[in-house]
Structure 1
C-alpha cells in the first residue's frame, strides 16, 4: 500500500515533536542531562527534516510511504516485549525504564525515515525498528547522565542496516545484524575507555536470572521464530558447544568455567534473540551449525579474555557477532559442499525435525542441571567444598561471594570473608588480597552488623595476639547467604529457610527443626 503527498516529509517532524513531549515525563525531566538530551535530539531531527523538506521542494521530489507489516518484525517485537514484561516483573527497573525505551522507538522511526528519504523516495513503514530497539535494550542501557549515547546506538544500528550492504544470493542486503553491530562497536569503545560503569550492562546480565525458570522461558519464546525462520540449528549448536565445553572444563578442574552456570543466562539470551538473525547469518544448515558453534565457543574465549584482563565479562556475547556476520558467506561456501542431510524435506519439515532434536537436548540439559534455577555453582556450599579441596580459583571466588553477602548485610559472611582474606594473603593465591591488613574491612563491617565473632577477630588482627575464630550463621544471615544468583529472598520463616539450605547443600540442615537451633552447622 502506498501513500504520497507534499506533507509526507513532515511525518518525521511528528515523531521528533513526540520525543520532545516525552522529555517532560517526570523520569526524564528530573535529570537535567537527560532532559537536554531528549530536547537536543528532537531539535536535531527537526532540523534534518527541515533540510529534507527544502531539498525535496527544490528537487521536485515526491516522497511516499509503503506500509509493509512483515511477520519477522512483529513476531520479534512480541517475543522481545513478552520477555521484557516477564523480566521486569522480577526486576522493577525494567518497568521504570519503559519511557526511555519508548523514546528510543520514537527516535528510531524519525531517524530511519529521514535517513531513507535522504537517499530515495520511498520509505517502508512497518515494525522494523521495534526488534532493533528492544534487542539493544535487552543487553545495554546507559545511565541517565549518559543517555544520549542510547540514541547513538540506535542510530548506528539503523545506519549500518541502510548503508553497509553487499551482494548476496543475487540481491543487495545488509551485512550486519542491526542490533548486534552497534552493541559491539559501543562495547569496544566502552572497554577501551574503561567506562563500563556508565551503563547498566552488568546489572542487566545479572538480573535476567532473577525470574524463575528463565532458561525455560527463553527456550519457549524462541520456538515460534525457530519454526517460521529455521534458526534452530544456530541456537542449538551454540548452546551445545558451550555446554560441552563447560562439562569438559568441570571434569578437568572440578569447578565451573562460568562459576554459577554452564551457560550464563545473558549468553543463553544472546543465543536465542541476538546473533541468529536469518538475514545476516549462513543459509545452509551446516553453515548455521558452524556459525552457532563459533558463537558459543567465542563467548567462552571472550569471557576468559575479558576476565583475565580485569575487564567486565558481560560483553562476552556482544563483541563477536559482527565478525560472524562478515564470515557468513564464506561459511556457506565451505558448508554447502559437504552437507546434504534433510534436503529431501520441505523447509517446515526440516524446522520441525531440528526443533524436536533441540527439545530433547534441552530437556536432557534441564534434567541434569545443565540449565535451570538449581545449578550448584551459584551457592556457597559448593565453593566452600571446592576451596577446601584446593581447586584452582575456588578460594578467590568464594571470597568474592562472601564479600558480596557481607555488603548485603550478613555479619557471618563478613567474618568468613575476613578470615579467607587472611588465608589468601598467606597463600598468595589472590593478588587482590595480598595484604592481610585488608581483612579489617570485612571484619569491621561484620562487627558493625553485630556479629560478635567478627569483633573478636578484628581485635586479634589489629593487636596481633590471640587466635582467629569462626561461628555459625544466624537465622538473620540465612536470607542473604542462601540467595545464590537469584534475586532477594523474601522468605523469613525459619522452617522454609532451613528447607532451602538443605536444597542448596548446606551440611546437616535437612529435616532440621528451627526450634532446636538458630544457626546453621
Structure 2
C-alpha cells in the first residue's frame, strides 16, 4: 500500500496545535459528563503534566519541533469499523452511549500523549487518525468504572508507550512488537486478575451485552470484512473462528456437553477475531503465518476460558491474554509459515485475499445460524443435564441464569435463587439465593418478593431478622400477584404479629388481591366482613366475597355463601 503524502506544518503551527490539544484535555474535564471526581481530576492532572512537559519541550527545542498531517487509510477505516460497532450496540444497551464521552476523552488524552512522546524522542508529530483505532479497539473490550478512571488512562498510556518503546526489526523494518490495544488490555487484565478487582471494570457487562443487539454477529462480520478486504488479514479471522467453532463441536461429540455455555463462539471472542488481532503490523504477513497465528489464538481460547473459570475469575479475559504472546511469536510463525505454501499457486496476493474473503463469507453463512441459536441458550437444557449429575452443566446453568438475570429476566433470577436455596443441583448458598430473590423482586417478579420476605422474616442469607422489612416486601409481593403473600400479610395485620395491627389495612390488601382473582383472599375477606373481625360487619358484602371465592373454585366459600342465605 502506497504511503500517503504528508502535509508538513511549521514549528509555530505545530506548537499551536499541540497547545490546543493540551487545552482541550483540560477543558473537557469540566464537561458535565466528566463530573465524577476521579474522571475530572484524572483529566485535569493529565493536562497539568502535559502542559509542563510541553513547556519544557518548547523551551529546549523550540523551532526544531515539527509536525505533519498524515491520513493513513488503515486508521480511518478501522475508526469507521469500530464506530459502527458502538453505534449498533448502543441502540440496545444504554450504558454504551453513556460511555461515549469517556471514550472521546481518552482520544484527546491519546493525541496529547502521542505528540509529547514523539517530540521527546526527536520525531515529527504525525497528525492523523492514528490514535483513534487504538482507543476504539481498547474500549470494545474493557472499561474501568468512572471512580477509577485513572486506571483507564493508565491502560491507554501502556498501549501507546508499548508502541513507542517495545520495538524490533522485522524484515528490514523498525516496527512495534505488540498490538498496542492488545498489550494495554492484556497488561490491565493481568493486574486486575492478580488483584481480584474485576468488579472495578465493565468487562463482564461488555462481554454479555454485545449479544443484546439481535444481529451483532452479522454486524461484526460486515465490519470485519471491510478490514479484511483492504488489509489482507482474512486468514487470521477465518482460521481463529473455525478453530473455536469446530473445536466446540468436537468437544460436544467427545463429551456430549458444550464447551461454552450458550455460544459456539463467545461473541466477545468473535469480536476480538475481527477487530483486535487483525493489526497487520503485529501479525504475520505470509499466508501460512496468518493461518498459524489465527489457529493459536483460537486454540488459546479454550484453556483460558476454563482456566479463568476454575480460579473463580470471569471468562471474558479469554480473548485478551494471549495477544502479546502471539505477537512475540510472529517471527517464528513467519518462518514456519513459509513452508505452508501451495506449490504452483499463481493468483496475485490481492486476488488470493479476495478468495480467502469469499471462503470466509461462505463459512460464516454456514455458521451464523448455529452461532445465533445455540442449544445452550435454553436454560432447560443445562438444568436437565445438571439433574443428571453433570457438574459442568450445573456450572453452565448457573452462568446462563446469571446472565439472563442481569438482563432483567426476573424468572431466571428466581430459578437461580431457588437452586441456591435448595442446594440440590448446586452447592447451597443462602446469601446468593437472597441476592437473586432481591433481583427478581426488583424486576417485578412476585415470587421473588415473597421469598425475599421469608428471608427477612427468618433472618436468612445474611439478613437480620426484621418483621417490619418482611412486611414491606411481602406487601410488594402481594401487589405483584403472590396470593400466599397477600393472605400471610393480611393475617399479620389482623392479629399484629410482627407489625402494628391494622385490620382495615388487611381488608384493603385482601380486597385488592380478590380483584386480581385470588380466591382465598376473597374468602378470607368474606369471613372478616361476616364476623366483624376488626372491621364493621357487612353481611351482603360478605356474601359477595364468598360468591367470588366460590366462582373461583374455593369450595368452603360456597358453603359459607349458602349458609348466609340471600338472593
TM-score computed with the length of structure 2 as normaliser: 0.74
Among 21, 30, 45, the residue aligned to 2:27: 21
Among 342, 348, 353, the residue aligned to 1:351: 353
**CA displacement 1:235-273 (0-9 Å, x = unmatched):** 000000001111112223333211010111100000000
Rounded Cα–Cα distance in structure 1 between residues aligned with 2:452 and 2:84:
51
Q: Tell me, yes or no, if structure 1 residue 2 matches structure 2 residue 1.
A: no
- When residues 408 and 136 of structure 1 are mapped into structure 2, their CA distance, relative to the original with a 3 A threshold, is closer
- When residues 252 and 343 of structure 1 are mapped into structure 2, their CA distance, relative to the original with a 3 A threshold, is same
2:326 paired residue number? 324
Shift of 1:379: 2.2
- When residues 51 and 303 of structure 1 are mapped into structure 2, their CA distance, relative to the original with a 3 A threshold, is same
1:511 paired residue number? none
Among 22, 35, 38, the residue aligned to 2:40: 35
Contact conserved, 2:241 with 2:270, CA < 8 A, in 1?
yes
Secondary structure (helix, strand or coil) at the match of 1:279 reads coil
Contact conserved, 1:10 with 1:49, CA < 8 A, in 2?
no
1:450 paired residue number? 446
What is the correspondence of 1:291-330 to structure 2 with a 5 Å cutoff? Answer: 291-330=293-332
Q: Tell me, yes or no, if structure 1 residue 377 matches structure 2 residue 376.
A: yes
Shift of 1:146: 0.8
1:169 paired residue number? 171
Contact conserved, 1:415 with 1:453, CA < 8 A, in 2?
no
Shift of 1:412: 5.4
- When residues 300 and 2 of structure 1 are mapped into structure 2, their CA distance, relative to the original with a 3 A threshold, is same
1:145 paired residue number? 147
Rounded Cα–Cα distance in structure 1 between residues aligned with 2:430 and 2:229:
57
Q: Tell me, yes or no, if structure 1 residue 263 matches structure 2 residue 265.
A: yes
Rounded Cα–Cα distance in structure 1 between residues aligned with 2:408 and 2:176:
51
Question: What are the ranges of 5 or more consecutive residues in structure 2 without an aligned counterpart?
Answer: 1-6, 459-479, 482-567
Rounded Cα–Cα distance in structure 1 between residues aligned with 2:20 and 2:449:
65
Question: What are the ranges of 5 or more consecutive residues in structure 1 without an aligned counterpart?
Answer: 463-475, 478-521
What is the correspondence of 1:120-269 to structure 2 with a 5 Å cutoff? Answer: 120-269=122-271
Shift of 1:346: 1.1
Secondary structure (helix, strand or coil) at the match of 1:451 reads helix
Rounded Cα–Cα distance in structure 1 between residues aligned with 2:452 and 2:312:
34
Rounded Cα–Cα distance in structure 2 between residues aligned with 1:181 and 1:314:
16
- When residues 93 and 174 of structure 1 are mapped into structure 2, their CA distance, relative to the original with a 3 A threshold, is same
Rounded Cα–Cα distance in structure 2 between residues aligned with 1:436 and 1:34:
37
What is the correspondence of 1:333-344 to structure 2 with a 5 Å cutoff? Answer: 333-340=335-342, 343-344=345-346
TM-score computed with the length of structure 1 as normaliser: 0.80
Bigger Cα displacement from structure 2, 107-116 vs 2-11: 2-11
Shift of 1:9: 2.8
1:100 paired residue number? 102
Higher-RCO chain (CA-CA 8 Å, sequence separation at least 6): 1
Bigger Cα displacement from structure 2, 142-151 vs 435-444: 435-444
Rounded Cα–Cα distance in structure 1 between residues aligned with 2:390 and 2:295:
29
Shift of 1:162: 1.5
Shift of 1:365: 1.1
Contact conserved, 1:386 with 1:394, CA < 8 A, in 2?
yes
- When residues 453 and 170 of structure 1 are mapped into structure 2, their CA distance, relative to the original with a 3 A threshold, is closer
Shift of 1:104: 1.0
Contact conserved, 1:176 with 1:322, CA < 8 A, in 2?
yes
Shift of 1:98: 1.4
- When residues 43 and 339 of structure 1 are mapped into structure 2, their CA distance, relative to the original with a 3 A threshold, is same
Shift of 1:193: 0.9
Rounded Cα–Cα distance in structure 2 between residues aligned with 1:437 and 1:97:
32
Shift of 1:395: 2.7
Rounded Cα–Cα distance in structure 2 between residues aligned with 1:341 and 1:132:
38
Aligned residues: 452
Shift of 1:83: 1.0
- When residues 413 and 70 of structure 1 are mapped into structure 2, their CA distance, relative to the original with a 3 A threshold, is closer
1:115 paired residue number? 117
Shift of 1:231: 0.5
- When residues 46 and 359 of structure 1 are mapped into structure 2, their CA distance, relative to the original with a 3 A threshold, is same
- When residues 248 and 55 of structure 1 are mapped into structure 2, their CA distance, relative to the original with a 3 A threshold, is same
2:540 paired residue number? none
Contact conserved, 2:402 with 2:413, CA < 8 A, in 1?
yes
- When residues 342 and 328 of structure 1 are mapped into structure 2, their CA distance, relative to the original with a 3 A threshold, is farther
Rounded Cα–Cα distance in structure 2 between residues aligned with 1:265 and 1:299:
12
1:65 paired residue number? 67
1:49 paired residue number? 54
Contact conserved, 1:254 with 1:391, CA < 8 A, in 2?
no
**CA displacement 1:265-299 (0-9 Å, x = unmatched):** 10000000001211111111111111001001111
Shift of 1:388: 3.6
Secondary structure (helix, strand or coil) at the match of 2:183 reads helix
Contact conserved, 1:12 with 1:109, CA < 8 A, in 2?
no
Rounded Cα–Cα distance in structure 1 between residues aligned with 2:130 and 2:438:
55
Shift of 1:414: 5.7
**CA displacement 1:426-458 (0-9 Å, x = unmatched):** 57xx4xx24679767767887995339976996
Rounded Cα–Cα distance in structure 1 between residues aligned with 2:452 and 2:51:
66
Rounded Cα–Cα distance in structure 2 between residues aligned with 1:436 and 1:173:
55
- When residues 116 and 456 of structure 1 are mapped into structure 2, their CA distance, relative to the original with a 3 A threshold, is closer
What is the correspondence of 1:82-93 to structure 2 with a 5 Å cutoff? Answer: 82-93=84-95
Rounded Cα–Cα distance in structure 2 between residues aligned with 1:129 and 1:443:
45
Give the RMSD, CA atoms, in angstroms.
Answer: 2.9
- When residues 388 and 63 of structure 1 are mapped into structure 2, their CA distance, relative to the original with a 3 A threshold, is same
Contact conserved, 2:138 with 2:185, CA < 8 A, in 1?
yes
